Chain A
Amino acid sequence: MKVNWFKFAAPANFYPVAGWLVSVFAVLAAAAILIGLYWGFFETPSVLGGTNPQKEYYRIIFIHVPAAWMSMWLYLVLAGWCAIGLVFNTRLSYMMAAAVAPTGAIFTFLALWTGALWGRPSWGTYWDWDPRLTSELILFFLYLGYIALHSAIDDTRRADKAAALLAIVGLICVPVIFWSINCPDPTQCAALHQRSSLSQMESNILSSMLIMAFGFWMYSFAAAFARLRGIILEREADTAWVQELATKEARR
């Protein structure tokens, strides 16, 4: 079967598809998050580690780690759609980018917030200038910058392009910022590597965390598509098909 993908690059054609996709991804997200939470809360050990064990509070990783993953992944998605928009000049890509940004910002904030809640019992402090925390904070600022620039420009075409350029500049800077914070002293770079290995985790914890990550990913799809539908309607409000849709809705 041959599908003409560019057909769906037109907002009018993608709008009904997005509506269908929202419900599919919402169901998947709800199912995965329910399973993941149940598994994470009831099927995993309640104490973790040897000499200085983590108690029940370690379960925050079922929210924290997936949120942190999604925050980084969604920035890549955002910059990807921005790049596609700048290259092919397709309106829908910019709308997609604008729809993804708030979800990404929310996940970044969630990762920071849950990280603080975890840090209090285990490190004794809500905030520490740890490399990971700091680079996550910078990522949050980058999301805010994108959203702020986009909403500050009234002309949508200019807003889309300017914010897209900013997202791509940010993307180049993210690894640089990450390494500069991760390794503030270049002479001792090797000693500072802090890495956690997925293979060393207990299998129940790992599976429920991965299911939660999948659930969050599906949620991102659902939220982005729902927001996209709103953005499409707003921007295409003057076109015939939206007017038609509105009269049809009104008659119902």
Chain B
Amino acid sequence: MGRAFLSLLRRDITLAMRRRTDVLTTLFFFVIVVSLFPFGVGSEQQILRQLGPGVVWVAALLASMLALERLFAADYEDGTLEQLLLTRHPLSLLVLAKVTAHWLLTGLPVVLIAPLIGMQYYLPETAIVAMMLALLVGTPVLSLVGAIGAALTLGLRGGGILLSLLILPLYVPVLVYGAGAVTAAFTTPAESQPYFYLLGAFLVLSLILAPLASAAALRISLE
């Protein structure tokens, strides 16, 4: 079972590495969205500092959603997904492998580029560290929950727009606590601790339930 997980993970990453633009577009989308805000609201230090955490999180939600469409689409079109459904391995495990690959390709780059974004928004050092940590815990939740929506809207007309309607309301808790953690860390880093506990709880909860729900959704979509 572990071997199946690893080989699917390796396959997905290899495939993505052959077409690097897909990965880079998501990352640049994130950077561009975040960089657009100062043009709109003005570049005053005080305002940007206040907006920073929320803007970064909203941009991260949108970037992760943009990439979600591709999570199952290619495998669905060439029939690989049906073969995956027929293997003797539990489908939720395979889904988890695909989601992990998706996170490594879209979530992790966002976490790594966060310090640069933080500097753009004049965030203090403690807040930048908190932002990286919060994104590290929070973005996997986005990928996991998003996978359910991606599986449900598989092969539909206008699937992308529909996906945002289905999934964005479910992202609210991560957004609230993710941005809250960064804001709380402005003065004293210790104050953001409860936020991290809650984000961790979301991660554990979605790690357990989301692959099961996505697997059920895939079965419905491919029936």
Contact = CB atoms under 8 A, between A and B. Distances in A.
Interface of A: 138, 141-142, 144-145, 148-149, 152-153, 157-158, 161-162, 165-166, 169-170, 172-173, 176-177, 180-181, 184-187
Most A CB atoms within 10 A — which of B162, B197, B202? B162
A155 to B, nearest CB: 9
A144 B167 CA distance: 12
A231 B120 CA distance: 54
Contact of A161 (B162, B165, B220): B220
Contacts of B23: none
B141 to A, nearest CB: 11
B165 A144 contact: yes
A67 B175 CA distance: 28
Contacts of A169: 148, 170, 213
Nearest to A168: B213
Contact of B169 (A145, A157, A158, A184): A145
Contacts of A148: 162, 165-166
A172 to B, nearest CB: 7
Judged by DSSP, the binding face of A is helix
B173 A158 contact: no
Contacts of B165: 141, 144-145, 148
Contacts of A138: 169, 172
12 contacts: A148-B162, A148-B166, A152-B153, A152-B157, A169-B148, A169-B170, A176-B173, A180-B198, A181-B176, A184-B180, A186-B194, A186-B198
A142 B166 CA distance: 7
A229 to B, nearest CB: 27
Contact of B156 (A141, A153, A186): A153
B166 to A, nearest CB: 4
Contacts of B217: 162, 165
Nearest to A146: B166
A29 B97 CA distance: 52
A166 B156 CA distance: 15
A142 B177 CA distance: 20
A78 to B, nearest CB: 15
B103 interface: no
Contacts of A157: 223
Interface of B: 148-149, 152-153, 156-158, 162, 165-166, 168-170, 172-173, 176-177, 180, 184, 191, 194-195, 197-198, 202, 209, 213, 216-217, 220-221, 223
Given A138-B172, A166-B152, A173-B170, A149 B162 contact: yes
B176 A152 contact: no
Nearest to B209: A172
A165 B213 contact: yes
Nearest to A170: B170
Given A145-B166, A148-B162, A152-B162, A185 B180 contact: yes
Most A CB atoms within 10 A — which of B169, B176, B191? B169
B152 A162 contact: yes
A158 B221 CA distance: 7
B216 A165 contact: yes
A141 B169 contact: yes
Contacts of B158: 152
Contacts of B177: 180, 184, 186
Contacts of A145: 165-166, 169
A142 B168 CA distance: 10
Contacts of A142: 169
A149 B166 contact: yes
Given A145-B166, A158-B223, A186-B194, 20 more contacts: A138-B169, A138-B172, A141-B165, A148-B166, A149-B152, A152-B156, A152-B157, A153-B156, A161-B220, A165-B152, A169-B148, A173-B170, A177-B173, A180-B172, A181-B172, A184-B176, A184-B177, A184-B180, A186-B195, A187-B191
